[in-house]
Amino acid sequence: MKLDLYQYESCRYCDKVRRHIDKLGIKHLINYHDTLKDPEAKKRLLTINDDDEQVPCLVIDGKPMLESDDIIKWLTENIGAAHAPARKI
Ligand SMILES: N[C@@H](CCC(=O)N[C@@H](CS)C(=O)NCC(=O)O)C(=O)O
């Protein structure tokens, strides 16, 4: 599965998603694209997301998902659970 997160530093919704990703320990599974620093990333986002530049946008195997809360929920349920650190019994 390919996961691309379109975002930028000063966006508080992006920050919420980034912090959750850190908390889940799944940062290494996600490709980050900064749409303010990288004009090519912004162009790609507009193409993927029907000319909408809203961030954060998580692109899951080419399909865009908007809304930070939806992204957090999806990552928690679909990626975080499978990569949770093993618990000591
Ligand atoms: N409800 C959205 C809000 C996202 C939002 O407002 N993002 C701003 C940047 S902080 C944005 O992309 N604005 C430009 C646009 O909506 O086209 C979420 O929780 O993800």
Domains of the chain: 3-83 (3.40.30.10)
Probe ligand 1: pick from 54, 69, 74, max atoms within 8 Å of CB?
54
Please indicate whether residue 85 or residue 33 has the higher confidence score (pLDDT).
33
Q: What are phi and psi of 8, to 5 degrees?
A: -150, 160
Angle, CA 55 vertex, CA 51 and CA 60 arms, to 5° = 80
Q: How far is the CA of 7 from the centre of ligand 1 (A)?
A: 10
Work out the mean pLDDT of the chain and round it to a whole number.
Answer: 94
**Hey, whose CA ends up nearest to atom 2 of ligand 1?**
67
pLDDT at position 81 is 81
Q: Which amino acid is at 69?
A: D
Digit-coded pLDDT (tens) for 38-47: 999 999 999 9
**pTM (2 d.p.):** 0.93
Digit-coded pLDDT (tens) for 54-71: 999 999 999 999 999 999
CA distance 34 to 76: 22
Ligand 1 atom closest to the CA of 11, numbered from 1: 10
pLDDT at 83 over 80: no
Alpha carbon 8 to its chain's center = 11
Query: Could you tell me whether strands 3-7 and 31-34 are parallel, antiparallel, or unpaired per DSSP bridges?
Result: parallel
Ligand 1 atom closest to the CA of 66, numbered from 1: 20
Q: What are phi and psi of 34, to 5 degrees?
A: -95, 115
